[in-house]
């Protein structure tokens, strides 16, 4: 069986050496030395001004909303993982869905301005599959209307735009370090504060129950992460460049077989990409289902990611028309992509996808 993804793991003795230190020092959580070291190393690697290691990518989004004191309406994308919208709802805000650009699959900035009302507080946009949103246009709209901007950058670890870390855009960017990501801490995430109106002290305080010293006068939550998770991150960070290069090789193999046959999301020349996913947009859902079935018959798992379009979730009571996202969500399929996928298997997967017997449907 070939899974759609597979977590990278360091040599077990490398991880055990760090675990032994935790065992000896008995500092298991509460901003221990490994958490502090990981935060600094990630801050340096990602070229960001501050970084807060938290328990997962979903809580990172919730912390961003809470820290920026966002209320009422948040304009967001219907084409993202479910956590993007549930974070909005969990913070008692109202998601307002704006359709996506058919080329990049990110939120369409041309449609954002029409959705702004007197109750709009922020824009929460996702860098879908690690592909940058049109950050300059979104920034201009936000400044014009005095809105906060949060970027869900769960897929964008290491991505650069015009030579600059993509995480430096917006008021806050958030990351996921879930086991399925190219860099992971088993479970985890991060909040990157870009130095706007909100101070680092507030984010640090919110993730620790709202406590500062002996003061308990701020509403917070337990969003801390442990030394064990940080240790995994410290081990894995050393291999990130190699992981990205391996994924690039697999991507190039897929491109060789599939690029001219199927539509792929557009990645501009100014983007330094991380090769986190390989999505294909088929001509119809019928074709997708036949390809997916063919792969499964050969013990290969592909994923319909993202489906459904978030504006169609049953608990979204207000109706939003997002025809592009609704259509794309029916036709997009992510092929297996992970650092240890070998060349022969990648070629076999691409061949199965592009078989004439499937393509003719």
Of 188, 151, 185, 189, nearest to 168 by C-alpha is 151
Distance CA 109, CA 63 (A): 24
Contact in structure between 158 and 46 (CB atoms under 8 Å): yes
Q: Which residue has the tokens 């997962």?
A: 56
pLDDT at 196: 72
Q: Which residues pair with 280 in a beta bridge?
A: 333
Of 253, 64, 281, 255, nearest to 153 by C-alpha is 64
Distance CA 121, CA 138 (A): 14
pLDDT at 169: 97
What's the chain's length in residues?
A: 361
172's enclosing H/E stretch is strand 172-176
DSSP annotation of 10: -
pLDDT at 213: 82
pTM of the model as a whole = 0.95
Distance CA 11, CA 255 (A): 31
Contact in structure between 229 and 186 (CB atoms under 8 Å): yes
For residue 203, the tally of other CB atoms under 10 A from its CB is: 26
Task: Give how far the C-alpha of residue 179 lies from the chain's centroid of Cα atoms, to the nearest Å.
Answer: 12
Distance CA 109, CA 91 (A): 24
Inter-helix orientation angle 343-353/240-258, to 10°: 30
Contact in structure between 274 and 240 (CB atoms under 8 Å): no
Contact in structure between 164 and 203 (CB atoms under 8 Å): no
Distance CA 138, CA 109 (A): 6
For the chain, residues with pLDDT lower than 50 are: 357, 359-361
Distance CA 126, CA 156 (A): 9
pLDDT at 251: 98
Torsion of CA 294, 296, 299, 300, to 10 degrees: 90
Domains and CATH numbers, the chain: 12-237 (3.40.640.10), 240-359 (3.90.1150.10)
């Amino acid at each position: 069986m070939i899974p759609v993804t597979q977590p990278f793991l360091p040599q077990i003795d490398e991880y055990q050496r760090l675990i032994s230190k935790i065992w000896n020092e008995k500092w298991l959580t509460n901003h221990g030395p490994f958490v502090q070291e990981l935060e600094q190393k990630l801050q340096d690697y990602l070229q960001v001004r501050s970084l807060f290691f938290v328990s997962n990518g979903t809580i990172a989004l919730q912390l961003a909303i809470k820290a920026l004191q966002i209320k009422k309406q948040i304009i967001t994308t219907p084409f993202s993982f479910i956590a993007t919208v549930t974070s909005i709802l969990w913070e008692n805000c109202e998601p307002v869905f704006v359709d996506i650009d058919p080329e990049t699959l990110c939120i369409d900035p041309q449609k954002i301005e029409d959705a702004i009302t007197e109750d709009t507080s922020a824009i929460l946009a996702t860098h879908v599959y690690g592909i940058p949103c049109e950050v300059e246009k979104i920034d201009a709209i936000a400044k014009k209307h005095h809105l906060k901007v949060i970027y869900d950058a769960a897929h964008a670890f290491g991505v650069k735009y015009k030579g600059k870390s993509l995480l430096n855009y917006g008021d806050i960017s958030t990351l996921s370090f879930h086991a399925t990501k190219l860099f992971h801490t088993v479970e985890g995430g991060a909040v990157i504060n870009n130095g706007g109106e909100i101070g680092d002290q507030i984010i640090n305080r919110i993730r620790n129950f709202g406590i500062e010293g002996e003061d308990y006068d701020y509403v917070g939550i337990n969003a801390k992460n442990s030394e064990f998770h940080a240790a995994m991150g410290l081990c894995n960070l050393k291999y990130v460049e190699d992981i990205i290069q391996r994924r690039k090789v697999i991507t190039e193999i897929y491109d060789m077989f599939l690029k001219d046959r199927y539509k792929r999301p557009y990645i501009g020349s100014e983007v330094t990409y991380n090769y986190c996913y390989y999505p294909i947009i088929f001509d119809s859902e019928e074709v997708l289902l036949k390809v997916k079935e063919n792969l499964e018959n050969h013990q290969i798992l592909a994923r319909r990611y993202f489906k459904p379009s978030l504006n169609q979730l049953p608990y979204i009571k207000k109706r939003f028309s997002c025809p592009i996202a609704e259509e794309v969500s029916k036709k997009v399929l992510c092929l297996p992509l992970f650092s240890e996928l070998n060349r022969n298997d990648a070629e076999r997967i691409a061949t199965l996808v592009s078989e004439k017997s499937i393509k003719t449907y």
